[in-house]
Structure 1
Amino acid sequence: MTSLTETERAALDQAAGAPMLAAVERWAAVNSGTGNLAGLRTVAGMLADAFSALPGDVRLVDPDPVEAVDPDGSIRTVERGAHLHLRVRPDAPVQLLLTGHMDTVFAADHPFQTLRWLDDGVLNGPGTADMKGGLAVILAALSAVETSPLASRIGYDVMINSDEETGSHASAGLIAELAAGKTAALTYEPALPDGTLAGARPGSGNFSVTIHGRPAHAGRNPEEGRNALVAAADLALRLNALKSLELKVNPARIDGGGPNNVVPDQAILRVNMRPSTPAAKAAAEATLRDTIANIERDHDVHCHLHGGFNRPPKPLDPAATRLFELVRECGSALGLSIGWNATGGVCDGNNIAACGVPVVDTMGPRGGAIHSSDEFLIVDSLAERAQLSALTIMKIAERGTV
């Protein structure tokens, strides 16, 4: 791909001229931390209004139920916000899925709430890069595609969920439903500051292991007790020893214990596991259960496992590689150098890839320091990445495949 047609140039000019910065500033001014249901409702309404400019039907989808284990061992239902879904031309011969998220990691009471300019063209603010900037890119790219003669050949679903930052437990079912049968998918996590994309990703699972022991007096009859805290610590050490090139393990927290003169009868170990391949994921699941069974035997305790691998590993298979190469070709036509590297992070791209759909999941603007008060958006990259997406979508429409 060495040159652009006149119709492509017209659509790309449309993409670059969209008022993306103004949209980012409006959306980022509203706190939409995953647990801030009021803020999420406000942002969802703003997004529904914005995306209604595209043809098709916009709807808000109720979240799936989510459970969590509290420090006392009880199971509670966690409320999540509604997800936005737009469907356009479901009968077109080529079907795409574009995804983003409206939530951020910054709670309603987090001190990071305002926008400020760091340098010319660099905007600091909560969610500017991750990923309200990405949402603006989606809208600008699709609005530009709609002006192209190729628009009639392509249909798409846009899904913007409310809980990506906590693992998409309330939206995983919707993602799988919308991914089914798609030619390809684009997800709008931010690219690195130099424009590098995320390639292969590991999977990720979060687990809570509740350990039930037996209380006893720490001085009079400790031998009659079964120390759940010690069992949890032993489990943490055994799981930590499973680390390898194909599996990262992070025992993160133990809840439990009580007065110094009582053998603790309950503890909860929280652990994250990140397998790099599907085979490593299967092995980790089996080893986790075997290790828990050994703890039960060796400490004479009972364990309950809660959680699972909510993000499957995302290797770069041949179809995904072809999609990355198409994005690189489109970048070259725009004067952009596009590369990609494996990363240790996870996102909704993991879930989409697990459905057998090729996906590039860092199609958003360039930015950095995400999940911190130093988060920044490189503003010039909004137009750059909107053009990259628009051209990629038009090329898929033209080819009928990746």
Structure 2
Amino acid sequence: MPPTDLLPFLTSRRDDLVALLRTLVEHESPSKDAAALNALADRLTDLLRQSGASSVDRVPNPDGGDHLLARFDFGHTGPDAPKPALLMAHFDTVWPMGTLATMPFRIEDGRIHGPGTFDMKGGLTLLLSALTALRDLNLTPPRPVEFLLTSDEEIGSPSSRTLIEATARKAAYALVPEPPLPGGGLKTARKGVGRYTLSVAGIPAHSGIEPEKGRSALLELAHHIIAIHAIADPAAGTTLTVGRAEGGGAVNVVPASASAEIDVRVSTLAEAERVDRALHALSPVLDGTSLALTGRLNRPPMERTAATASLFEKARAAAARSLGLELTEGSTGGGSDANFTSAIGLPTLDGLGPLGSGAHAVHEHIEMDSLPLRAALIATLMLSL
């Protein structure tokens, strides 16, 4: 069969895609539940082998669920084999165990609901189904494929980042089926994400008898909350948000301690460096108080590089030629593991997941009819890039 038959073939197997998605969704996998994640890794190992994987390696994660790295040779072996395409997905979700009791897998009005359907077990379903379709149709991509499945993306990829970057350095390009932009657009740029904590030490005193001897950590923090927000540059895509603040103790005591947690979003590394310098330059306003800043940028920005723009143009042409699909691109403020691959210079296309809405929300769902089309798109890209 020619590549143009991918969509009819996958459309005829839509029920199989839905059944696979149901299997993944009904296996709950919170980011910090190692037992649940490892049990799902066992199941995914079987599914990868059924999809035609040449090998499946398990990468231990002492702090949580193990990661998986599968290889699909497609006949490309030996020292002369071209660099592989890299497929990336995560199988952890933000949802705690027991969520299925109140958010069961269900299909209503053409939509598939359930925890993790949109972010990103729907995308994981697409990758497995695309690889299976290539095998069943005897279609051979011009490159081998490495498929990295990680278990900690929703908590910032603390154990998988090194693995992601090491795998990406050996690849030709990366495809990531995170949720798309509204309407199905791919993501060729993402903001970088930082987390900081500002801690303030003051001097306690009785608020009625001798308040003048105290130095309020909360008042000091209030000055800095205003200063922190002033560091933002919305025109450059830079935002700083104090999302949580706390301090003090008894209401009749001048508070001796306070802290604030800061969310940072930046579009460029230059802005990340500026923000970091500005936060570290904060100094006490009230005599007798002191500041301590911890934290850093934990996901670098995914900047739209010339290499990624070129990859998108090739993908756009392939989608139009083989599927009659008009691909669009854009940016988003959220981060993903695509930030890591892009930051080391690997051309990366993100947002290849199924159409839907409600990531991390109780109305999370995907559009059922988008499953065959998006799986065919991913298979087409593997054949064309």
TM-score (norm 1): 0.86
- Give the 3-state SS of the residue equivalent to 2:84 in structure 1: strand
Q: How does 1:106-145 map to 2 (within 5 A)?
A: 106-110=95-99, 112-119=102-109, 121-145=110-134
C-alpha deviation, 1:298, in angstroms:
4.2
- Give the 3-state SS of the residue equivalent to 1:200 in structure 2: strand
- 1:174 corresponds to 2:171: no
- Aligned partners of 2:358, 2:300: CA distance in 1, in Å? 25
Letter of the 1:284 counterpart: V
Describe the shift of the 1:236–1:136 C-alpha distance in structure 2 as closer, same or farther (beyond 3 A): same
Describe the shift of the 1:395–1:315 C-alpha distance in structure 2 as closer, same or farther (beyond 3 A): same
C-alpha deviation, 1:139, in angstroms:
0.9
C-alpha deviation, 1:149, in angstroms:
6.5
Residue of structure 2 in register with 1:273 after alignment: 264
Describe the shift of the 1:268–1:87 C-alpha distance in structure 2 as closer, same or farther (beyond 3 A): farther
Letter of the 1:378 counterpart: E
C-alpha deviation, 1:63, in angstroms:
3.1
C-alpha deviation, 1:107, in angstroms:
1.7
Does structure 1 conserve the Cα–Cα contact (< 8 Å) formed by 2:7 and 2:373?
no
C-alpha deviation, 1:10, in angstroms:
5.3
Give the one of 146, 152, 155 matched to 1:157: 146
C-alpha deviation, 1:225, in angstroms:
3.0
Q: How does 1:363-374 map to 2 (within 5 A)?
A: 363-374=352-363
Does structure 2 conserve the Cα–Cα contact (< 8 Å) formed by 1:129 and 1:367?
yes
- 1:7 corresponds to 2:5: no
List runs of 5+ in structure 1 lacking aligned partners. Answer: 1-5, 65-78, 397-402
C-alpha deviation, 1:167, in angstroms:
1.8
Does structure 2 conserve the Cα–Cα contact (< 8 Å) formed by 1:217 and 1:262?
yes
Does structure 1 conserve the Cα–Cα contact (< 8 Å) formed by 2:203 and 2:288?
no
Give the one of 278, 283, 290 matched to 2:274: 283
Residue of structure 2 in register with 1:33 after alignment: 30
Residue of structure 2 in register with 1:399 after alignment: none
- Aligned partners of 1:381, 1:11: CA distance in 2, in Å? 14
Residue of structure 2 in register with 1:233 after alignment: 222
Does structure 2 conserve the Cα–Cα contact (< 8 Å) formed by 1:129 and 1:375?
yes
- Give the 3-state SS of the residue equivalent to 1:306 in structure 2: strand
Does structure 1 conserve the Cα–Cα contact (< 8 Å) formed by 2:187 and 2:351?
yes
Q: How does 1:2-401 map to 2 (within 5 A)?
A: 6-9=1-4, 15-16=10-11, 17=13, 19-53=16-50, 54-63=52-61, 79-89=63-73, 91=78, 92-110=81-99, 112-119=102-109, 121-146=110-135, 151=140, 153-192=142-181, 194-244=183-233, 245-246=235-236, 247-291=238-282, 294-295=283-284, 298-332=286-320, 333-396=322-385
- Comparing 55-64 and 39-48, the one that deviates more: 55-64
- Deviation digits for residues 358-382 of structure 1, max 9, x if unmatched? 1111111111121111111111111
- Aligned partners of 1:8, 1:271: CA distance in 2, in Å? 48
- Aligned partners of 2:227, 2:208: CA distance in 1, in Å? 28
Percent identity over the alignment?
A: 33
Does structure 1 conserve the Cα–Cα contact (< 8 Å) formed by 2:217 and 2:255?
yes
- Comparing 306-315 and 370-379, the one that deviates more: 306-315
- Aligned partners of 2:137, 2:106: CA distance in 1, in Å? 36
List runs of 5+ in structure 2 lacking aligned partners. Answer: none
C-alpha deviation, 1:88, in angstroms:
3.6
- Give the 3-state SS of the residue equivalent to 1:217 in structure 2: coil
- Aligned partners of 2:290, 2:302: CA distance in 1, in Å? 34
- Comparing 216-225 and 242-251, the one that deviates more: 216-225
Describe the shift of the 1:229–1:117 C-alpha distance in structure 2 as closer, same or farther (beyond 3 A): same
Letter of the 1:331 counterpart: A
- Deviation digits for residues 184-211 of structure 1, max 9, x if unmatched? 0001102245222223211110112222
Residue of structure 2 in register with 1:71 after alignment: none
- Count residues in correspondence: 373
C-alpha deviation, 1:138, in angstroms:
0.7
TM-score (norm 2): 0.89
- Comparing 236-245 and 88-97, the one that deviates more: 88-97
Describe the shift of the 1:225–1:85 C-alpha distance in structure 2 as closer, same or farther (beyond 3 A): farther
- Deviation digits for residues 88-116 of structure 1, max 9, x if unmatched? 44752131111111111212254643122
- Aligned partners of 2:287, 2:176: CA distance in 1, in Å? 46
C-alpha deviation, 1:315, in angstroms:
1.7
- Deviation digits for residues 146-203 of structure 1, max 9, x if unmatched? 4577637422221121221222222211111111132100011022452222232111
